[in-house]
Amino acid sequence: MEIANGYWATGILGVAAKYSLFTHLEAGVDTADQLAAKTGLSERGAQTLLDGLVGLGLVELRDAKYRNTAEAATFLVEGQRTSLSGYAKLKLGEMGKLVALLDVFRTGGPLTDAMVEVVDNPHWEEVVPAIAAQSVPVAKVAADMLRLAEAGEISILDLGGGSGIFSAIWLELNPAARSTQLDWGPINAIARRLLKERDVTDRFTCIDGDFHTIDLGAAVYDVAVYSHVAHQEGPEDNVATFAKVRGALKPGGTLVVCDYVVDDDRGGPSFPLMFASEMLLKSKKGGTWRRADYQAWLAEAGFEDVSFHTTPSPTTLVFAR
């Protein structure tokens, strides 16, 4: 029953984020009537949302007052770097796309080119900032494992970097590092704006274009990151990109792949397994790939040392040298 009615959770969370309920709760607005007055919701609507959020485990009720759980306070209050409120609103707007799932399972891919991510899609302005917060804890874990803060004057390449969140966090941790992001022009424009807020744009360079065709140079970078791109690509494209990156890395350099990785027997984990449906809906060749796939592709591209590392999120980090 919970699975069949899963859209309830998406709707409740998305509407609550849209009306900034978590932000208001954090500020001390803690009853249905007060929230209705602050948000413009009806009192019945506010009460129903609060009931749903309590049911989801995101809001607590004590002495007739509501407050955020620790998780909601960390990940759903607006204005915080870890806030996923924009992502919740994004998913609320995408619920209508689910009606196409039946057909994409039958045909094996997107029904029209309009369903595939393209360079001039205006939705990047909403999507790119909304998904950035997902990578905050993962980027910090990767930085700690690579000891980037003490690495000195390193050069970073961020392929398909989107919001530039990896570059932002790594440049903040290492004031001597420099980063280059290669992505489509409209997306790079968003990244430059977001990194300006962190005051690191003097060490952040963008190359506008398609990383499939642009020359990356030879032995230029100490670290390269390929975050949440592999799942949009087919096997051949991933191998080709890994080979290009191998050539662009300095001797001893590291490629960091960040993505949803499934077990070799495809028995888990659950989030990456379910995420494959998103790629069936939105990409022509993408999917969630096994550890064995990454191992084989990276070896074919010339990497000899490959390791896999779980994180506090559904994301796995792959280090290749």
If phi > 0 it is left, if psi is from -120 to 50 it is alpha, else beta; for residue 147 that is left
Give residue 33's pLDDT. 97
In a domain, 107, yes or no: no
**Statement to judge: residues 25 and 174 lie in one domain:** no
- Asked if 238 and 266 count as a contact pair (C-beta separation under 8 A), the reply is no
**The pTM is what?**
0.89
**Statement to judge: residues 149 and 31 lie in one domain:** no
In a domain, 109, yes or no: no
**Statement to judge: residues 184 and 86 lie in one domain:** no
Give residue 114's pLDDT. 57
**Statement to judge: residues 66 and 199 lie in one domain:** no
Give residue 129's pLDDT. 86
Report the distance separating Cα 131 and Cα 180, nearest Å: 20
In a domain, 128, yes or no: yes
Contacts of 82 (CB under 8 A, 6+ apart): 74, 75, 133, 136, 137
**Statement to judge: residues 43 and 10 lie in one domain:** yes
Beta-strand relationship, 155-159 and 221-227? parallel
Domain that holds residue 261: 121-320
In a domain, 1, yes or no: no
End-to-end CA distance of the chain: 46
Contacts of 153 (CB under 8 A, 6+ apart): 176, 177, 178
**Statement to judge: residues 81 and 183 lie in one domain:** no
**Statement to judge: residues 59 and 129 lie in one domain:** no
Measured in whole angstroms, the distance separating CA 44 from the mean position of its chain's CA atoms is 34
Residue 153's domain is classified under what CATH number? 3.40.50.150
Query: What's the total number of domains in the chain?
Result: 2
The distance between the two most distant Cα atoms of the chain, rounded to a whole number of Å, is 64
In a domain, 116, yes or no: no
**Statement to judge: residues 223 and 164 lie in one domain:** yes
Running along the chain, 321 residues long, what does each successive block of 10 average in pLDDT?
Answer: 93 97 98 97 97 98 97 95 94 82 82 64 81 92 97 97 96 97 95 93 96 95 97 96 98 97 96 93 92 98 97 96 97
**Statement to judge: residues 143 and 197 lie in one domain:** yes
In a domain, 115, yes or no: no
**Statement to judge: residues 82 and 180 lie in one domain:** no
- Asked if 114 and 289 count as a contact pair (C-beta separation under 8 A), the reply is no
In a domain, 67, yes or no: yes
- Among candidate residues 96, 113, 130, the one where a domain is terminated: 96
Place of tokens 């995420």: 275
Residue 46's domain is classified under what CATH number? 1.10.10.10
Q: Tell me how long the chain is.
A: 321
Contacts of 227 (CB under 8 A, 6+ apart): 135, 138, 158, 160, 161, 162, 166, 256, 257, 258, 259
Q: Both tokens of residue 104?
A: 């994409």
List b or e across 10-23, with b for residues whose CB sees 16 or more CB atoms inside 10 angstroms: eebbbbbbebbbbb
